């Protein structure tokens, strides 16, 4: 299942030639890093698969219905919990992020674990490459960590350390 998720995510992100914003690398390097972090704390195949798939509904033509057909309800539910639900019509960035935070707050501890891994990987990239945006992003992540406490304790501690180190600079 994990290999199938990796292949599906790779294919979907490549189908739109999605690239990492700062490095220009194929986007799949991000889901790969998230999956590696998740696999470092659990052998739960559904969680690791969801880590590979966590951005496909948000960023590619893939739909949640397609994820359910390909991977089943358990993984589709995790991907749904990981997918931002706000739209540009919901207002400015702060308003949209508040909607997404409430969605994440209602997520399962398993989804919150994947979200922590996502936060960890993105925080490194954004802090290093975009100090101006990092101010906004890290403030959002500080608020998000409040609702991610039910995620894996090791990843939660790593995420807290990154956010705290950012503010100690």
- pLDDT tens figures, 90-148: 999 999 999 999 999 999 999 999 999 999 999 988 988 898 999 999 999 999 999 99
pLDDT at residue 17 greater than cutoff 90: yes
Who's near 155: CB < 8 A, 6+ residues apart?
37, 38, 41, 113, 116, 117, 120
Q: What was the pLDDT predicted at 115? A: 98
Who's near 142: CB < 8 A, 6+ residues apart?
163, 167
Q: Residue holding tokens 């398993």?
A: 110
By the 8 A CB rule, do 104 and 148 touch?
Answer: yes
Residues 18 and 41: their CA atoms lie apart, in Å, by 28
Residues marked active site are found at: 58-59
Q: Residue holding tokens 């400015």?
A: 92
Integer-rounded Cα Rg, in Å, for the chain is 15
| Helix, coil or strand: residue 26 | strand
The DSSP secondary-structure symbol of 97 reads H
Q: What was the pLDDT predicted at 127? A: 86
Domains of the chain: 2-168 (1.10.3210.10)
Distances (CA, A) of 15 to 3, 24, 147: 18, 15, 33
CA angle, residues 35, 144, 85, in degrees to nearest 5: 75
| pTM of the model as a whole | 0.96
């Amino acid at each position: 299942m994990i290999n199938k998720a990796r292949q599906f995510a790779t294919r979907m992100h490549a189908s739109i030639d999605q690239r990492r914003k700062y490095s220009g690398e194929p986007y799949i390097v991000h889901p790969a890093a998230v999956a590696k972090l998740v696999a470092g704390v659990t052998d739960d195949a559904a969680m690791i698969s969801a880590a590979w798939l966590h951005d496909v509904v948000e960023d590619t033509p893939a739909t949640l219905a397609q994820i359910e057909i390909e991977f089943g309800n358990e993984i589709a539910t995790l991907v749904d919990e990981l997918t931002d639900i706000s739209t540009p019509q919901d207002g400015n960035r702060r308003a949209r992020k508040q909607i997404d935070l409430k969605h994440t707050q209602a997520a399962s501890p398993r989804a919150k674990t994947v979200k922590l891994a996502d936060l960890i990987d993105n925080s490194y990239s954004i802090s290093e490459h975009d100090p101006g945006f990092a101010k906004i992003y890290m403030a959002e992540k500080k608020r998000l960590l409040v609702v991610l406490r039910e995620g894996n304790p090791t990843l939660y501690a790593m995420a807290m350390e990154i956010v705290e180190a950012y503010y100690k600079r």
